[in-house]
Amino acid sequence: MENELLRIEDLHASVEGKSILRGLNLSVPRGEVHAIMGPNGSGKSTLANVLMGHPSYEVTRGRILFKGEDVTALPPDERARRGLFLAFQYPVEVPGVSTMSFLRAALGAVRGEDQPVREFRRRLEGELKDLGMELAFARRNLNEGFSGGEKKRCEVLQLRMLRPELAILDETDSGLDIDGIRLVSQAVAATRRPEASFLVITHYLRILTHLVPDRVHVLFAGQVIRSGGAELARELEVSGYEALRSEHRPAATAQAGTP
């Protein structure tokens, strides 16, 4: 597909020798929002980490194509430079590094931008304001002592500053209150542009009201077992994953048994 930004083919991945992703296929065209839903432990965060090239996860089969290029073996920094970004489910605390200097370094490393300090500061203040935060927040050490909601806002701040072509959001809505979800999802939605796409991992519909998905995929036991339009998310909210679980247990078990 010419308009394809991300293509995942028969992806198998394991962590500490345990197979988690078991033949995952996914295609995300440019400009689209795709939601990934699925029960706890189905491999959603694993998929996000494997897409970013996290060293703890081993790809044992299949490949990841980004803008037509096979990035399966590329280190994380190379992927970031090509336009991939992950907002972590559990952002790590980085003592001794202010959020501000981290962002400035990231802009330099990922985008090759070396803005004059005043210009950078002005841009940062604008982005912070849109997220309901003040400059004092960016002076604090990255994620150190941040509340759950502040950590998620900080991930979105990075996304807003870096403007990636593919933004993966791993449960960015969890830990935020209702107003926080609205603010954050609107701040993410405002970065939509025709050439960029979003992979939104979530359990809840609320974030999807602002970031309306073009496609919804259900991940179960390391595979995409169902894809549909935005209505699939609403359907899941009513019926839960349990119906799919019973539907799919035999296949998933057989799959797990194969070497």
Ligand X SMILES: Nc1ncnc2c1ncn2[C@@H]1O[C@H](COP(=O)(O)OP(=O)(O)O)[C@@H](O)[C@H]1O
User: Which among 23-31, 41-49, 140-148, 246-254 is the span making contact with ligand X, rule CB under 6 A?
Assistant: 41-49
**Cα separation of 72 and 16, whole Å?**
18
- Burial class, 27, CB count within 10 angstroms (exposed 0-12 / middle 13-18 / buried 19+): middle
Of the candidate residues 3, 41, 119, 234, the single one contacting ligand X (CB under 6 A)? 41
Q: Does 16 bind ligand X (CB under 6 A)?
A: yes
Q: Which of 2, 17, 55, 56 binds ligand X (CB under 6 A)?
A: 56
**Beta carbons of 46 and 8 less than 8 angstroms apart:** no
Q: Of the candidates 17, 40, 231, 238, which one interacts with ligand X according to CB under 6 A? A: 40
Neighbours of 136 (CB within 10 A): 8
| Per CB under 5 A, 172 contacts Mg ion | no
Beta bridge partners of 199: 34, 168
Tell me the number of residues near ligand X by CB under 6 A. 12
42 binds ligand X (CB under 6 A): yes
Using alpha carbons only, give the angle 107, 171, 194 rounded to the nearest 5 degrees. Answer: 55
Q: Choose, by CB under 6 A, the member of 9, 15, 72, 182 that binds ligand X.
A: 15
200, 211 contact by CB (below 8 A)? yes
Beta bridge partners of 201: 36, 170
Least distance in Å: CB of 251 to Mg ion?
22
14 makes contact with ligand X (CB under 6 A): no
Per CB under 5 A, contacts with Mg ion among 72-91 are: 89
Q: Which of 7, 24, 28, 43 binds ligand X (CB under 6 A)?
A: 43
- Contact between 231 and ligand X by CB under 6 A: the answer reads no
Minimum distance, C-beta of residue 68 to ligand X, in the bound complex (Å):
27
Q: Which residue number, 45 or 185, has a Cβ lying nearer to ligand X?
A: 45
Q: How far is the CB of 139 from ligand X (least distance, A)?
A: 32
Strand partners, 121: none
Q: Minimum CB separation from ligand X for residue 120, in Å?
A: 34
Q: Which of 19, 45, 49, 172 binds Mg ion (CB under 5 A)?
A: 45
Spatial separation of the C-alpha atoms in residues 172 and 105, rounded to whole Å: 23
Pick the closer one to ligand X by CB: 3 or 60. 60
* 209-212 LR contacts (CB < 8 Å, sep 24+): 209/185, 210/182, 210/185, 210/186, 211/33, 211/185, 212/33
Q: Which of 49, 39, 44 is nearest to 248 (CA)?
A: 39
Can you give the binding site for Mg ion, defined by CB under 5 A? 44-45, 89
Can you give the binding site for ligand X, defined by CB under 6 A? 15-16, 20, 38, 40-46, 56
